[in-house]
C-alpha cells in the first residue's frame, strides 16, 4: 500500500541556459560589436592623413593668415636668412610689444616645416611638411614695399602671397 503522506518529489533539473537564450545573447553581442566597430572606423576616417594635399593647402592658407595678420599689425619687419621677424603690439598681456618670428626649419630628413615663434618661446609648427618656403621684401617705385611669401608644398603646388607694407618706418 502506498503511504498517502509521502509524495514523490521530482528530481531537481540542473539549471542551464536554453538554446533560445543563447541565440538571443549571441545576437545582442553581434549587434553591439558591429556598432562599436562602425564607430571606430568612422573615427579613423575623421583623422586627416598627413599627406593629404587638401590638408596641406588648408595649413598653408592658415599660415598665410597668421603671417599677413602679424604683418598688418607690425611696427617693424626684418627679413634675413630664411626668416621674417616682426615687432607686433602686445599679445601676451605684459604691456610690451612682442617679437614674432616665422622661419623655415630644415630637418636632415628633407622635411621642411614653417614655424612661428612668439617672444623666443617654443615654436608652433604651422605647416609641417613643405618642399620650400621663402620670404623677401621688394621695394617698388611708387607702390612701396611688399612682403612676398612663397611656399611650395610637397605636391609641387606653389602658394604665393604679397602684402603691401604701408607706412612702416622700420622695414629692413
pLDDT digits (tens, 9 = 90+) for 65-113: 888 888 888 888 888 877 888 888 888 888 888 899 988 876 655 567 8
Query: Do 20 and 98 have their domain in common?
Result: no
98 and 90 Cβ atoms separated by less than 8 Å: yes
Query: Do 69 and 34 have their domain in common?
Result: no
Check residues 109 and 142 and name the one with the higher pLDDT: 142
- Domain of residue 31: give its range: 16-47
CA 41 centroid distance within chain: 20
Helix residue ranges, H only, the chain: 19-46, 53-73
Question: Which residue among 47, 66, 86 closes a domain?
Answer: 47
Helices (H) and strands (E) in the chain, counts: 2, 8
Query: Do 43 and 93 have their domain in common?
Result: no
Q: Which of 134, 124, 138 is nearest to 62 (CA)?
A: 124
Query: Do 83 and 156 have their domain in common?
Result: yes
Place 16 in a pLDDT band, splitting at 50, 70 and 90.
confident
Query: Do 131 and 112 have their domain in common?
Result: yes
Domain assignment present for residue 161? The answer is: yes
Query: Do 41 and 65 have their domain in common?
Result: no
Query: Do 92 and 118 have their domain in common?
Result: yes
- CA distances to 1, 53, 119, 145 from 158, in Å: 109, 12, 29, 22
Query: Do 100 and 121 have their domain in common?
Result: yes
- CA distances to 36, 106, 114, 147 from 83, in Å: 48, 12, 10, 12
Question: What is the pLDDT at residue 32?
Answer: 96
Domain assignment present for residue 9? The answer is: no
Query: Do 111 and 32 have their domain in common?
Result: no
Query: How many domains in the chain?
Result: 2
Query: Do 85 and 151 have their domain in common?
Result: yes
Q: How far apart are CA 131 and CA 144, in angstroms?
A: 30
What angle is formed at CA 26 by the lines to CA 22 and CA 27, rounded to 5 degrees? 115
Question: What is the pLDDT at residue 128?
Answer: 79
Structure-block grid coordinates of residue 88: 607686433
pLDDT of 143 above 80: no
Query: Do 31 and 59 have their domain in common?
Result: no
Question: What is the pLDDT at residue 77?
Answer: 86
Query: Do 129 and 61 have their domain in common?
Result: yes
User: Which among 34-38, 43-47, 112-116 has the top mean pLDDT?
Assistant: 34-38
Domain assignment present for residue 10? The answer is: no
Amino acid at each position: 500500500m502506498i503511504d498517502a503522506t509521502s509524495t514523490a518529489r521530482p528530481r531537481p533539473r540542473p539549471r542551464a541556459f536554453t538554446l533560445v537564450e543563447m541565440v538571443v545573447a549571441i545576437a545582442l553581442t553581434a549587434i553591439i560589436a558591429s556598432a562599436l566597430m562602425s564607430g571606430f572606423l568612422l573615427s579613423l576616417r575623421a583623422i586627416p592623413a598627413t599627406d593629404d594635399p587638401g590638408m596641406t593647402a588648408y595649413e598653408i592658407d592658415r599660415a598665410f593668415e597668421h603671417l599677413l595678420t602679424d604683418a598688418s599689425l607690425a611696427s617693424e619687419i626684418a627679413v634675413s636668412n630664411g626668416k621674417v621677424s616682426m615687432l607686433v603690439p602686445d599679445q601676451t598681456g605684459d604691456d610690451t610689444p612682442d617679437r614674432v618670428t616665422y622661419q623655415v626649419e630644415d630637418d636632415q630628413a628633407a622635411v621642411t616645416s614653417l614655424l612661428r615663434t612668439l617672444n623666443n618661446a617654443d615654436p608652433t609648427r604651422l605647416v609641417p611638411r613643405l618642399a620650400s618656403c621663402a620670404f623677401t621684401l621688394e621695394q617698388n617705385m611708387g607702390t612701396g614695399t611688399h612682403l612676398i611669401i612663397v611656399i611650395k608644398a610637397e605636391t609641387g603646388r606653389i602658394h604665393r602671397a604679397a602684402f603691401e607694407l604701408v607706412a612702416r618706418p622700420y622695414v629692413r
